[in-house]
Structure 1
Amino acid sequence: MFRSQPLEKAALIIRFLKPVTWIPVMWSFLCGAVASGAFGWQDLTGSRFILGMLLTGPLASGTCQMLNDYFDRDLDEINEPDRPIPGGSISLRSATWLIAIWSLLSVAAGWLIHPLIGLYVIIGIVNAHLYSANPIKLKKRLWAGNIIVAVSYLIIPWMAGHIAYHGTLTITALAPSLIVAGLFTLSSTGTMTINDFKSMEGDRLAGIRTLPVVFGERKAAGIAAVLINLGQLLAALYMFWIGEPMFSALTLLLIIPQLILQFPLVKNPTGFDVRYNAIAQNFLVAGMLVCALAIKAAKP
């Protein structure tokens, strides 16, 4: 049972689903749709797009966030004791039911858009288990945790957006989206590392081998900056290679403010991590859309 008054239940569930984490996944779906070449801005009000936003936001992303809270409740008692489960607002039984219902709704919504997207949703939910659940718990294994989260945040929703609007499932049709999504996944692996700074204390006590724990704050911040820049630089080069030099140049320009912000980040990772993500992420996601538009422009 929920340990709260009836009027608080909806707000508590929304908090459990962590809406702030939905945005990157929803954006990746949008970029994939744009890159398909079959998506127009008039489709923003279409039922397929609305269902895609529900899927990548409150449904699939919400399911994965609830799973993470469920399996990380021991860590959250140290790092974030006010979260719903460690704080006692939601019981484990209620959390289990919510996760089961949301998982079924997510797979059903994905299947309604395209059967292959339903499969992608299942893969994303499996990834969330692999990331958080013992005995595998990939978040303990240095690079593996950040990589699997980045794949779930970028490649899976980007390809879902592409497939939702482009019926041709061939290597030729899908390759540009897959390459660009993969390169931005490299950058996203760096941003995931920056997210690890806030939970260093609990991770160290629990034996979670994140980059900040293993390499120290400043070295981990430097590694994250290299990954963030490298993925975008390679994406810019790919835009040039497919014959879109203007989009390539714009992608490069969007890296510059991120590079400037990385200097104070490396100097003071735990004091600048939240500010860095709040500002720099805007330029990174803008680069994603620029590359999606370039892929669309390059289509014959």
Structure 2
Amino acid sequence: MSVTESLHIVRRLPEPRALLTLIKPITWFPPIWAYLCGVISSGVSPLNNWGLVILGMVLAGPVVCGMSQAANDWCDRHVDAINEPHRPIPSGRVPGRWGLWVALAMSALALGMGAFLGPWGFGATVFGVVAAWAYSAEPVRLKRSGIWGPGLVGLCYEGLPWFTGAAVLAAGAPSGPVIVIAALYAIGAHGIMTLNDFKALEGDRQTGVNSLPVTLGPERAARVACIVMALPQLAVIGLLLAWGRPWHAAAIAVLLLGQFWAMRILLSDPKGRAPWYNGTGVMAYVTGMMIAAFALRMIGGAP
């Protein structure tokens, strides 16, 4: 009998603090921020729709993102036993099938809340819930791919919440420029997710998860991640210039220059510097997202 199995037998109920750790509050910020970017870019006053704004923030962050984290931890419990044995499930602090029950209950809660956001908001919620399980669960488990896995997470962390916020406020499909900018930032987020895979490098190797750090090695994977993050932002800058928003484009360009500086430091020690970059370069990235949202608002986000 393993230590983990014995812990599961001893503890029948999960620790409350471990349940909070399971849904990882630190991960809620990106989708909430992206949802707010969508709200701003819609061109509709959030003050007159504050209920939808708050509901969407709670849905995007604590509920859908929290659910995705619980589902991922449950499906990754064997990998986490190698990479992070202190995590709630492998440590036994969330015993038995509690991780699965939490993920399923939060999936149902997400769908119920999404129904109050209208057809576009509900459709986006359904997509987000299905994507969370497709990323983590067998037999699909898109996490095994270093291309599709980070791409799906980037889409659900940045693009989908942005689209949802704009659609909910506009009560319809967002405008073409909003969709394009949201898609570009979602593509760039693929690089951010690739850097996030560095922390699970050893466990991924042992369990057959073909992340880019595993298949390309840390150095090449970091270079690919930097290129993937930078090119969409260059496209955003070009589009904002074409749409007559030079000051917004210039502000994003300055933030991108700061990211280039941070990328040089990252590339000097990709595995060691990846967590540092996630706290510096990524902040500049998401700041640019909000600047782009205000630019879209001035252009006219609603169709």
Query: Counterparts of 2:9 and 2:160 in 1: how far apart (Å)?
Result: 33
Contact 1:79-1:202 at 8 Å conserved across structures: yes
**Superposed displacement of residue 5, structure 1:** 9.4
**Superposed displacement of residue 208, structure 1:** 1.2
TM-score (norm 1): 0.93
Residue equivalent to 1:29: 35
Q: After superposition, what is the alpha-carbon deviation per residue over 1:263-288, rounded to whole angstroms, capped at 9, x for unaligned?
A: 12112011111111101111101100
Identity %: 32
Consecutive unaligned residues in structure 1, runs of 5 or more: none
- 2:297 aligned counterpart, secondary structure: helix
Q: Does 1:20 align with 2:30?
A: no
Contact 2:146-2:194 at 8 Å conserved across structures: no
Contact 2:120-2:172 at 8 Å conserved across structures: no
Query: Counterparts of 1:297 and 1:265 in 2: how far apart (Å)?
Result: 35
**Superposed displacement of residue 168, structure 1:** 3.5
Q: Write the mapping of 1:1-300 to structure 2, written as runs, cut at 5 A.
A: 9-40=15-46, 42=47, 46-169=50-173, 173-299=174-300
Query: Counterparts of 1:216 and 1:279 in 2: how far apart (Å)?
Result: 23
**Superposed displacement of residue 92, structure 1:** 3.7
- Name the Cα RMSD after superposition: 1.9
**Superposed displacement of residue 12, structure 1:** 2.1
TM-score (norm 2): 0.92
Q: After superposition, what is the alpha-carbon deviation per residue over 1:241-275, rounded to whole angstroms, capped at 9, x for unaligned?
A: 22211111111111011100111211201111111
Q: After superposition, what is the alpha-carbon deviation per residue over 1:65-102, rounded to whole angstroms, capped at 9, x for unaligned?
A: 11100111110010111111111111242222212221
Query: Counterparts of 1:193 and 1:97 in 2: how far apart (Å)?
Result: 29
- 2:140 aligned counterpart, secondary structure: coil
Query: Counterparts of 2:206 and 2:233 in 1: how far apart (Å)?
Result: 34
Residues 250 and 43 (structure 1 numbering): CA distance in 2 closer, same or farther, change over 3 Å?
A: farther
Query: Counterparts of 1:109 and 1:133 in 2: how far apart (Å)?
Result: 23
Query: Counterparts of 2:230 and 2:45 in 1: how far apart (Å)?
Result: 29
Residues 204 and 43 (structure 1 numbering): CA distance in 2 closer, same or farther, change over 3 Å?
A: farther
- 2:214 aligned counterpart, secondary structure: helix
Contact 1:43-1:49 at 8 Å conserved across structures: no
- 2:45 aligned counterpart, secondary structure: coil
Q: After superposition, what is the alpha-carbon deviation per residue over 1:170-190, rounded to whole angstroms, capped at 9, x for unaligned?
A: xxx421111011111121001
Contact 2:12-2:96 at 8 Å conserved across structures: no
The total of aligned residue pairs comes to: 294
Consecutive unaligned residues in structure 2, runs of 5 or more: 1-7
Residues 200 and 167 (structure 1 numbering): CA distance in 2 closer, same or farther, change over 3 Å?
A: same
**Superposed displacement of residue 54, structure 1:** 0.9
Contact 1:28-1:158 at 8 Å conserved across structures: yes
Letter in 2 for 1:71: C
**Superposed displacement of residue 225, structure 1:** 0.6
Contact 2:15-2:94 at 8 Å conserved across structures: no
Q: After superposition, what is the alpha-carbon deviation per residue over 1:181-211, rounded to whole angstroms, capped at 9, x for unaligned?
A: 1111121001111111111101111121111
